[in-house]
Chain A
């Protein structure tokens, strides 16, 4: 998985796995057929299997029904039309995370459920920002999970970023505030704050996270400037509940979707875009830091329906 190639190749390779199956399916449906009810049903099913959700799949196929019903359509046309609809939906939310160097530091709080990939994402972001010449400071804010602090420390070593830590079990909000003053003192451009994974229905843990946000404001009334929600592409429709509740309680400003290098296709991003309009900054398509890529509407949509760029 770590063979070389430019980032475009990596992206294609990662997303290619996701799209191959969908693409094959569409070809299979349309090779010898006209666009009838049965075909549309099967098309809808393919979208559902990409975790797009019933409603969006239904609407997308409903659109095709309106414009193309009864016509002889080639697989390419259908894919194209499908990609167009998807691009239209996700274009507005494809926004890279812009670091404001005037903030010194730009405080980024990283949140999400357990196992979504927060710590790894922070490691990758730290590497990319460092490579771009920014001064990055890390905060090992997951003071709950065993060895989470050690895990981020290793990333700090690898990337050469200073890190603020406290022992496991310490108060995460206090640590975040310490890290903010550390970052200010060293003149860091970016402060990346890790948090413990928590299920969004755990009100006690969500309150703890709200406390982190509240306490950070003591150091900088505008902090955190960005709150990144890390979503696992493998997760199905529960991504809606995650986006909704994290946004409501801690003001999520952007999404990073991880693990798109598997066979999960992350179609839920399309319905998330439609529903909440939270910007999607990046997607993870592999293990290395370079595999965390900007989210691009067209390539994501085209890959999703099995079209080459």
Chain B
């Protein structure tokens, strides 16, 4: 970011600008790298580690223009998730925190894409609202063109902007450029009359969609907010979209909240995402309105509009385009390490109870089943099943205790475990014979699966990760 390099002493010499200058647009990766450089030890993330890391996360989010109240909620949620999380081998604590932050960011931004809905009686009214200069008119034309080309819809556009000079002409010109019809301009008509006429023409002339572009207005301008509320009441829009500039600063929460409360939004369109702003407004508006970001304006051309991808925005807000690959790489390394270990056991051709105990210890060290599985790619599906199966660290601990109560010989060769040995082991580990039996059954299942894995081949196993180990999707080797 050579463009942003600047002296650390302020221009007037009034301040020494610590954490300013070069650091202003530093990525979170770098920031956290610094925090954790001193931190050599591995193990669970302590509260102190997490707090230090989250201080940097907070700064990164604020520099990305995420609004303060949203930053606070976000940081608190991440803190709850992060404290006590075990740091897995091959991943630095910083990367671990980044992954947690990144995952949570995507969660808040909305992990699923929500398309514009046209599922209503035609003509489907769509109302565009927003501050002055946010890009409503251009966005209206872009959406209309998208409906026309992608969905083969017959679209009518109408400008209700009687305030800005030539605003209606602007939409008419864009209509000609996109080949989308626009409502003929009648001089002196009021916004409500224009809306009424647009819907009427829409009905009579068989349009599928009527796009209503409104004048830019301040959310605190009572008269203009009432005007647009009246339009809403008249046309009952199927979609009401807030068009907002991706460069918006702290005010994003105020604007988002006011428009949502006064007009009732169904979604947000962020414009000028092709600029170099970090786009914190996306998080602010999503969090404060609870409404999905549906589309992104990505350029000046009229087809430059895209579906919202939370992962891209997340990486951008955190100041690291490479975060996804970074996290994936970390997860892949873990995957491979584990796989290699298991593969080695398999090569011995003998998966005994010592191996099972080692696996259980490993599991616990990695933050339990769900903690470890959370790090692995492609595991989402079975993760849910596992959490439903209610495995927790207690179960794992108990199973470890059972194995510890066995003699060396018993561990190497479980076949010798007769009834009296099982009773002894149950007593020694403070469990019941049924628990011992269950563990032995699990070991049996796992050994069977190991054979399956062997057939699958080492490479195939690596590719599938732990998922390849799970029998039939539903069961799991550690279930009760």
A interface residues (Cβ-Cβ under 8 A, vs B): 1, 17, 45, 48-51, 53-56, 58-59, 88-89, 92, 113-117, 120, 123, 144-148, 150-151, 153-155, 168, 199-202, 232, 234-238, 240-241, 244-245, 248, 259, 261-265, 268, 274-277
Contacts and interface: CB of A to CB of B under 8 A. Distances in A.
B311 interface: no
B11 A276 contact: yes
Closest 9 CB pairs of A and B: A236-B249, A115-B133, A147-B170, A236-B65, A154-B165, A146-B173, A150-B166, A264-B251, A238-B277
Given A1-B221, A89-B12, A144-B300, A264 B249 contact: yes
Interface in B89-141: 131-135
Given A114-B272, A274-B10, A268 B63 contact: no
A53 B21 CA distance: 12
Contacts of A236: 65, 247-251, 277, 280-281
Contacts, number: 175
A235 B249 CA distance: 5
Contacts of A54: 19, 59, 62-63
B4 interface: yes
Interface string B409-422: 00000000000000
A220 B388 CA distance: 77
Contacts of B12: 88-89, 92, 274, 277
A123 B170 CA distance: 18
A99 B370 CA distance: 69
Given A49-B68, A151-B166, A201-B276, A235 B248 contact: yes
A128 B250 CA distance: 32
B111 to A, nearest CB: 25
Contacts of A49: 67-68, 250
A298 B166 CA distance: 37
B340 interface: no
Given A115-B134, A201-B275, A151 B164 contact: yes
B167 interface: yes
Contacts of A116: 133
Contacts of B171: 146
B254 A238 contact: no
A183 to B, nearest CB: 22
B438 interface: no
B220 A262 contact: yes
B187 to A, nearest CB: 13
Contacts of A51: 65, 249-251
A263 B17 contact: no
A191 B322 CA distance: 47
Contacts of B24: 55, 237, 240
5 contacts: A120-B164, A153-B166, A236-B65, A238-B275, A265-B250
Given A114-B135, A199-B274, A274-B12, 18 more contacts: A48-B68, A49-B68, A53-B63, A54-B59, A113-B247, A148-B166, A151-B170, A168-B173, A235-B245, A238-B249, A238-B278, A241-B4, A244-B4, A262-B218, A264-B250, A274-B14, A274-B15, A277-B12
Nearest to B131: A234
